[in-house]
Structures are given as C-alpha cells and as structure tokens.
Amino acid sequence: MTALNAIGRTGATALATLAISGFLMSGTATAAPSTVPFQVDPFIPLVDLPTPRLAAIVGEEPGAAVLHVRRAPGDGNPHAAVVHWLSLGTRAYGSASFPTLDAQPVTIRPGSGQVVAYVDPQAIGTPGFGTFFVP
C-alpha cells in the first residue's frame, strides 16, 4: 500500500466517522408551533352575525395543520363557515366545516408545502382566504 492510499483511506474513515457521529447526535429540529391568521377575513354585512375569523396552527405535526376559529369576547351569535383548502406542494385538497363559531378545531393533512385556504361564509357575505406553509 502506498502512502497516498493510506492517507486517502484514513481521511475517508475519519470523514465517515464524523458523518455518522453527527447523524446519530442530531435530533429532529422542530420549530415551535405557530398560529397563522387568515390574511383576509370574510365580511358579513349583517350587524348581529359576527365574522368567522380563522387561523391555522402549523408545526405541531409534520404535514398537518389545525384550522380553528379565532374568537373574541362578545362575538355574539354563532355563524357557519366552510374552509376549502389546496396544497400547492402535494396537490391534496379538502374541506373543513365549522357549523358555529364555537366549533372544534379541524386537523387537515395536506402534506408539506404551501397551502391556500378559501373561506366560504355560507353565501351571506364576502369570502376570505388564507395561505400558510405546512412543514
């Protein structure tokens, strides 16, 4: 074995050892979950029907987001909304229904990528939308 081959093998072994130890020591890097409010809230022109303001929580689980209604004190009477969503990364799509402003959050699984969501306030107002990135 020549000196050049020995140095090459030693260098390759050292690099492989560093790469493996770095891989084993690395954990899953996760950011804290974040809440992304929809950029445009639907508008309902009737005084006693509150606007369904929605948001997405991302980062709790890879490939998933939680859609929920953001409530403020004194929001008044409940109102329904349906959110249609489309993942631009995976082309997955679906809908989430919120029969009242007190509805439970809905988990969607669009996969990783940018998601566009369209809020249909059940045909009595103007629609809203949101975009968010799902890790």
Residue-wise pLDDT tens digits, 108-134: 999 999 999 998 877 667 889 999 999
Report yes or no on whether pTM surpasses 0.85: no
Q: Would you tell me how many other CB atoms lie within 10 Å of the CB of residue 80?
A: 15
Distance set, CA 55 to CA 34, 39, 40, 66 (Å):
10, 9, 11, 8
Contact predicate 125/43, CB 8 Å: yes
Q: How far apart (Å, rounded) are the C-alpha atoms in residues 106 and 127?
A: 19
> Which strands make up the sheet holding 81-87, listed edge to edge?
93-98, 81-87, 113-120, 128-134
